[in-house]
Amino acid sequence: MLIKKAEDIRSSEITPKSLYLDRRKFLAAAAIAGAAAATGIGLSEAINPSTTVLAGNKINGLQKSSFSTTETITPYKDVTHYNNYYEFSTEKDEPADLAKNFRTRPWKVKIDGMVDKKQELDVDEIIKMAPPEERIYRHRCVEGWSIVVPWVGFSLSELIKRVNPTSKAKYVEFTTLLDMRQMPGQQRPVLQWPYVEGLRMDEAMHPLALLCFGMYGEDLPNQDGAPIRIILPWKYGFKSAKAIVRIRFTDKQPENTWNLSAPREYGFYANVNPNVDHPRWSQAKERRLGEFFKRPTLMFNGYDQVASLYSGMDLKKNY
């Protein structure tokens, strides 16, 4: 057996340290993959256990939800580095960095409009209103891509019940923070700032509508809408307003930002609907991040339980 002496080994043959160290990561990943396959947990879940991630704070006492899908969860890295968050940038890979120093505490949410008592609630007060649940939802962007995310929060109805809107309130409006120093995207009039979204009262009270303050078992990362946002899994992503500072109850349909920007393209309802195309592209299919082939888009993004909210409505007109 020929044993090379040290000086015989050319430096080009020596594996760089970084690669060598990566080898362990690879082995670990392979082991995890094997274990994941054996135990039946999703691979991405296993590689990104909720203990290792950036946002930090783990949320304790998470309850499981019957609304959760068993589909493969999108990797944490993708959900935190592919963000449509125009308050920071129109480039999807930029909010991760630009939102790094975004201040999410102290944070007040103003509750006003047609409510018994107008008030300002601290976000930490809101978060404690109900036990946190993990809800693994499909999330479909109007642009034709989708992800599966384990959000953390509770039904929006829990908050609404507690603040007591009057019987005149027919709609609820959500406003995102306006602060162009912290949100550099607001320095350009790409959209009308602040970002506003809205729901009909019965939509907001539907148990699927989530008041969300975490994901992957931790606090919500800044680029994903921290400290508090809504998640409406049967609607296109733009309906799910981020970094909410105001919740207003009203009897008039709120003017939502994207609808103001391009009324023919983005409606008030924005329900996921494979049969109603965006004027410029088809909505029949979507690309799930991480998948090569496109998959068919489902009516209401597969959340048929909301169908009764829209019975008798022409969804081609009310897009």
Partner 1 sequence: MHRYLKPVLFLACLVPLARLVWRGFHAGLGANPIEAITHSTGNSTLIFLLVTLSITPLRKLTRQYWLISWRRMLGLYAFFYGTLHLMTYVWLDKFFDVQEMLKDIAKRKFITAGMTAFVLMIPLALTSTKWAIRKLGKRWQMLHRLIYFSAAAGVIHYIWLVKADLKKPLEYATVLGILLLYRVVVWIAARAKRGAGVGAASRVEVSETQA
The contact set with partner 1 (CB under 8 A) reads: 77-79, 81-82, 86, 90, 92-93, 143, 145, 188, 190-191, 261-262, 280-282, 287, 289-290, 293-294
In the complex with partner 1, the residue whose CB is nearer, 48 or 155, is 48
We find the least distance from the C-beta atom of residue 224 to partner 1, in angstroms, to be 13
In the complex with partner 1, the residue whose CB is nearer, 252 or 293, is 293
In the complex with partner 1, the residue whose CB is nearer, 147 or 156, is 147
We find the least distance from the C-beta atom of residue 139 to partner 1, in angstroms, to be 13
In the complex with partner 1, the residue whose CB is nearer, 110 or 287, is 287
Angle at 248 between CA 247 and CA 251, to 5 degrees: 145
Angle at 174 between CA 168 and CA 180, to 5 degrees: 145
For residues 184 and 88, the answer to whether their CB atoms sit within 8 Å is yes
In the complex with partner 1, the residue whose CB is nearer, 104 or 186, is 186
**CA–CA separation, 152 and 175 (whole Å):** 20
List beta partners, residue 265: none
We find the least distance from the C-beta atom of residue 78 to partner 1, in angstroms, to be 4
In the complex with partner 1, the residue whose CB is nearer, 76 or 102, is 76
We find the least distance from the C-beta atom of residue 273 to partner 1, in angstroms, to be 17
In the complex with partner 1, the residue whose CB is nearer, 108 or 294, is 294
**CA–CA separation, 251 and 65 (whole Å):** 32
We find the least distance from the C-beta atom of residue 255 to partner 1, in angstroms, to be 16
Specify the DSSP element, H or E, that contains 123. Answer: helix 123-127
For residue 58, count other CB atoms closer than 10 A to its CB: 14
We find the least distance from the C-beta atom of residue 277 to partner 1, in angstroms, to be 8
Q: What is the DSSP string of 30-64?
A: HHHHHHHHHHT--HHHHHS-TTS-TT-PBPPSPEE
Q: Tally the C-alpha atoms within 13 A of residue 201's C-alpha that lie toward its C-beta.
A: 17
In the complex with partner 1, the residue whose CB is nearer, 143 or 255, is 143
We find the least distance from the C-beta atom of residue 30 to partner 1, in angstroms, to be 17
Of 270, 279, 255, 282, whose CA–CA distance to 310 is shortest? 270
Angle at 204 between CA 208 and CA 189, to 5 degrees: 110
Find the largest Cα–Cα distance for the chain.
89
Q: What is the DSSP string of 232-285?
A: -TTB-GGGS--SEEEEEEESS----HHHHH-TTT--SS-B--TTS-BTTB--SE
We find the least distance from the C-beta atom of residue 191 to partner 1, in angstroms, to be 6
